[in-house]
Amino acid sequence: MKFLIVGLGNKGAEYAETRHNIGFKVVDELAKEVGVSFQNETLAHIARIKYKGKQLILIKPTTYMNLSGKAVNYWMQKEKIEKANLLVILDDLNFDFGTVRLKPRGSDGGHNGLKDIQGILNTTEYPRLRIGISRPDQKGVQVDYVLGEWSDEEKKTLDSIITKSCEATKKFVSLGISLAMNEVNK
């Protein structure tokens, strides 16, 4: 059985340590855990790993965040992956920093990566792992905030949040969305 695990983010060194790239960080860690590196392929950096007898195709779209749907659709078609076996990992302003929530479906919540994926797949019915980055205190600075680097305070717990997100991803793969939600969303 195959799963497409999509970490959302923006390519390039200038974005590597930004809040918006938490999805990239999670799939990087999943690949690192088993000693696999990413290869540059069509529309994405891709790594293939096995987990409990299942094949996980990890991708980091190279299309930039706002065009993520093109890469997701391409790899779903190429690998013949059903929407139920797709997991999109992303940052979420609507959750407190460090909150990790597995959802079977939902709106884009103002997230441009999700907006593009939903537009191209023509559905909101696909699993996603939302990682809370909190909202900025000021209004009108959201873009600068999500494209900003982690604060020193956030960096202290970032590794544990990435680990928790990797565990949530593995639970999704091994248990299915419903049982995984029961464990992850406590």
The string of pLDDT tens digits covering residues 114-144 is 999 999 999 999 999 999 999 887 777 888 8
Domain harbouring 33, CATH code? 3.40.50.1470
pLDDT band at 54 (very low <50, low <70, confident <90, very high): very high
Angle at 52 between CA 49 and CA 55, to 5 degrees: 35
pTM: 0.96
Distance in Å from the first CA to the final CA of the chain: 27
Q: Are 75 and 43 in contact (CB under 8 A)?
A: yes
Residues spanned by the domain of 28? 2-184
Q: How far apart are CA 119 and CA 39, in angstroms?
A: 27
Say which amino acid occupies 22: I
pLDDT recorded at residue 142: 84
Number of domain units in the chain: 1
List C-alpha distances in Å: 76 to 30, 100, 137. Answer: 19, 24, 38
Residues carrying an active site annotation: 20
Q: How far apart are CA 117 and CA 139, in angstroms?
A: 26
- Averaged pLDDT of the chain: 95
Decide if pLDDT at 184 tops 80: yes
Reported as a single tens digit per residue, the pLDDT across 20-44 is 999 999 999 999 999 999 999 999 9
